[in-house]
Amino acid sequence: MIELKDKKVLITGGSRGIGPVIAESLKIRGAYVALAARSESGLQDVAERLSKTGSKVYIVPVDLNIQSQREMLIDSVLKEVGTIDILINNAGLETEGAYVELSWTEIKETVEINLIAPMALVRLLLPSMLKNKTGHIINIASIAAKSGAPYAAVYSGTKAGLAEWTRGLRLELKGTGIHFSTIFPGYVREVGMFARFGKKSPWIIGSCSPEQVAKAVLKAIQKGKIEEIVNSRQLRYSFIINELSPKLGDWLMQISGAVAFQRRKIGK
């Protein structure tokens, strides 16, 4: 089992949602945590809270929509801690709405943050990781990557792209010492967009807690798990059905109430 003590970890999306929960789970196990997010005040609040459990948390306010800001982030963390052992691409936009009603700006920014930014950060980090023959990239995808969600088509597409890009790199760099893991959370209770919605999801979809997502991240690092689905077991069977018969999968989404549930989430 891989020990986390003294590992240098960079987590994007660290100011809210599951980011702080993941950070805390790593920090109490001795990891040095650097947090990145757009909100400086949000980062400061999280850092102050986490610093009570041990060493200082390094924060970097950054707009991951901009390439020069991504470069600044990596340079800043490397200058501060010398190396990045683990990168957790957690930042993401949960863009929802009828596709034809979304502005092109919303669509483009979702693709940029959810997919292009992780690609850019990994590209910036890989040379040093390959030189050191060690490193771990963890990408937070979504169950929407396994089965596209209506009224979240752009989000689903970016998360599916993230997952398959991760798979491609994992195979390409096998044997180099660089490890890749993908986490697929479902609807997350207590924090984030779904929690603010304040409704219980259909039985077949289920939900998960932030702590369950953090536990999956720990398992990926410590036990080398390459993929972890964090959600109800019954939904996993629907993924199998969807792969074997997309038509049957679509029917199952309809009769389970999943499509109607997504429609209610956006007020339709």
Query: What average pLDDT score do residues 24-53 get?
Result: 93
What SS3 string covers 205-254? CCCECHHHHHHHHHHHHHHCCCEEEECCHHHHHHHHHHHHCHHHHHHHHH
Domain positions in the chain? 8-232
Select from 139, 214, 144, 131 the least CA-distant residue to 170.
139
What pLDDT does 47 receive?
94
What pLDDT does 234 receive?
66
Give pLDDT tens digits for 104-134: 999 999 999 999 999 999 999 999 999 999 9
Give pLDDT tens digits for 191-249: 766 666 666 777 677 778 999 999 999 999 999 999 999 987 667 767 777 788 888 88
Q: Which residues are catalytic?
A: 155
| 186 in Cβ contact with 205 (< 8 Å) | yes
- Mean pLDDT (the chain, rounded): 91
Q: Which fold has domain 8-232?
A: Rossmann fold (3.40.50)
The number of angstroms, rounded, from the C-alpha of 18 to the middle of its chain's C-alpha atoms is 9
Query: What average pLDDT score do residues 44-71 get?
Result: 92
